[in-house]
Structure formats: structure tokens, C-alpha cells
Chains A and B, each alone.
Chain A
Amino acid sequence: MNLRYMMSNVPSRLVVLLLLAVFSLQAEQLAPNNLTTISPAGKAPILKLKTLNDEVIDLKSLKGKVVLVNFWATWCPPCRAEIPSLYRMYKKLKNKNVVVLGVDIGEDTGTVFSYLNNLEPSPDYPILLDADMSTMRRWGVVGIPTTFIINKKGKIVYKAIGGRDFDSKELINKITKLTK
């Protein structure tokens, strides 16, 4: 067994897990959990990408719904940390016309599938692949996770740089208000 094999498999996952633990310790100190209000609300840039199932999703077709666009990657500890709360929020609000689009940056289908399959529960909102970072650049994202919340008219009304607890009472209330 060579060093490259060893380091590219189990230890790499171990490093990510341990970095996640370190991150959790760093971030736990009662961090504020707000969304930044975008005022005036700005038009959402183009977002048209393939999902893991090879379907194309165009943000334009989701007008009339509240959409959370979450830029992330499987190796990113804070992205991994916020996925469970994002999914809980989605489960609570999907019947109120709330959609989550997880936009994975720079990874292939196999990598993302294998990560999601190991999650319990595994989120069932659409995961889109931005393999060359072009969508991320268009949206002006420079660090992940970054999440945009788009109202029913297709305008960006909130933004969050860094992980959040999306199923906190405050955030659920803010997102629910947009559905009315």
C-alpha cells in the first residue's frame, strides 16, 4: 500500500473530520446567526446547471418560489456542518414553496454522490454541479459556504457568508415570511 493511496483515502477523510471537530470548537462561541439583508433587493444572476441526475435546473424557472442557493463542497468543514440544518429547514418549508439548490463547486458526480450517500439523513434537495466555478464567479462568491435567499420575484433579499443554523426559529421565520 503506497503513501499516496493511504493519504488520499481514509486519512484524508479523517483530516476533514478532525478539522470539522476543530472548526466546531472554534465556531461554537455563541456566534451570531443573522442573514444580511440585501437592500435594495438585487436581480439574481443566471444559474443554469446540471444536477447529479443529469437534469438541467434553471433558476429562472423557479420564479414564484422562495429559493435558497447554497454554494458548497464536500471537503469544506463549515459546509458539511450546516447541511443538516439546511435540510431540516427544507423539510419544514418545502410544502410552502421553498426550494433549496445546493451548488457544489469543482467536484465530480462520483465524489458528491459518495459523500451524500454516507449522510444520514441524506438531503434530497437538488444538488447542482459547478465544475469550473463559472457560476460561483458570476454570483460573486469568494468563500464557501455562501447562501443566497431569493424571493418569489427572483430577487436576492438575503445573503449569508459562512455557515448558519438554518432551522433556527429566527431564520425559519424570515424565510417563511417570504413565502407569503
Chain B
Amino acid sequence: MMGLFKVVLFFMLLLTSVFAKKLSKDGVTFSIEPIASLEVKAFYLGRGFSQEQIKPYSQTCVFTTFLRNDNAKGTIHFVRKNWFALKDTKRFYIKNDDYWFKKFKKTKVKMSSKIAFELGQIPEEQSYATGGDWNEGMLSVDLPRGSKFDLKINWNIKGKKYELTIHDVKCAK
């Protein structure tokens, strides 16, 4: 049974990697890859969450994302809550960690699990110097699994705004 589970998980990862997208603009690289609900659960159960605790998060569209300042004109600064998914002209802004922590509070999530959750996300706010600063982390878009949308991310350099649109992002089931 364990063998079958591993095989299923492996093929899910392989399948989701097909939908990965990677774009570079203005010296900044961003990549996004859908993660299946089962993969999200597996990761967070390993970090001490119960299935019930992580269910609301794993049911949303979760991605592994990666943002790097390769050679932008200066240090980039971003605020994650300003990023949004655009679906049928409606904007779905990325939720702050506090939104999830309030949900976790009701089910008494352990401190170590909350820490892993916070650090497992792409940061809420961060600055990357030119020359290779980067983070990788999960990003949840509060839309049903299987949704398709455009994702708009933005950052600024000394107050000047930059934007990148990732078209036709497909959420894993």
C-alpha cells in the first residue's frame, strides 16, 4: 500500500510539474508550479498539522513559487498581499498569514507547526538585493482546485512599481 501511495504521489508531482511556468522581466525571475492537495497535506502533516487543521489551506489553489532578483536596477521590495489572481475580471488578493493563523487558532495548531507554515510560504513582505537574493515558498490563491486564472505580481524599486502577469495559471486538483 505504501509503495502504491509513493507511486501515486510521484506521478502527481510529475504531472503538476508539467504546468510549471517560469518568467523573467526587468531583471527579476518568477516561477510558479501547482501543488496537488495531497502533496500539500503530506508536507504539512509532516510538520505536525492534523488533516483537519490543514484542510482549509490544502483545499485552496497552492503553488510552489520562486522569486529572484537577478539583475534588476536595484533592490526590489514586494508586499505579497498586493498580488492577486484575476479570474473573469474579478480580483482575488493573496491572503496574509494572519488569515490562516486565525483559522489555526480554533484548532490549536502547535507553535512549531505555525512556524513551519509561516516560513513555508513565500514571505509576506521582503526585499531582495541585486545579484541573486531569492526565496522559494508556497503561495495560496483562494480559488477552488482546478481553477484557471492570470496571476499578477508586483514589486517596486525605490518607489517605482513593476508588474508581471503570469497568464493561464492552472491550479492542480
Contacts and interface: CB of A to CB of B under 8 A. Distances in A.
Contacts of A8: 45-46
A117 to B, nearest CB: 18
A162 interface: yes
A82 to B, nearest CB: 12
B5 interface: yes
Contacts of A78: 136
B41 A7 contact: yes
A9 to B, nearest CB: 8
B133 A162 contact: yes
A22 interface: yes
Nearest to B10: A18
Given A23-B136, A106-B116, A142 B6 contact: no
Majority-rule SS of B interface residues: mixed
B132 interface: yes
B165 interface: no
A106 B129 contact: no
Contacts of A142: 123-126
Interface string A1-39: 101101111111111101100110011010111101000
A160 B127 CA distance: 11
Contacts of B2: 1, 6, 10
A75 B6 CA distance: 18
Interface string B27-43: 00101010000010111
A50 to B, nearest CB: 16
Interface in A138-173: 142-144, 159-164
Contacts of B156: none
Given A26-B66, A164-B132, A12 B115 contact: no
Nearest to B66: A26
- Range class of the B interface residue count: 35 or more
Contact of A75 (B39, B41, B47, B64): B47
A4 B6 CA distance: 14
30 contacts: A1-B2, A6-B2, A8-B46, A11-B9, A11-B42, A11-B46, A15-B13, A15-B42, A16-B43, A23-B136, A27-B66, A31-B68, A31-B70, A31-B132, A31-B134, A32-B131, A34-B131, A36-B131, A36-B133, A75-B47, A75-B116, A76-B119, A106-B119, A142-B124, A142-B125, A142-B126, A143-B137, A159-B129, A161-B135, A162-B135
Given A29-B29, A31-B68, A144-B119, 10 more contacts: A1-B1, A11-B9, A22-B13, A22-B17, A26-B66, A106-B115, A107-B112, A132-B111, A142-B123, A142-B124
Interface of A: 1, 3-4, 6-16, 18-19, 22-23, 26-27, 29, 31-34, 36, 73, 75-78, 105-108, 131-133, 142-144, 159-164
Interface of B: 1-2, 5-6, 9-10, 13, 17, 20, 22, 29, 31, 33, 39, 41-43, 45-47, 50-51, 64, 66, 68, 70-71, 111-112, 115-116, 119-120, 122-126, 128-137
Top 9 closest A-B pairs, CB basis?
A12-B46, A106-B115, A34-B131, A32-B132, A162-B134, A36-B129, A143-B135, A161-B133, A7-B45
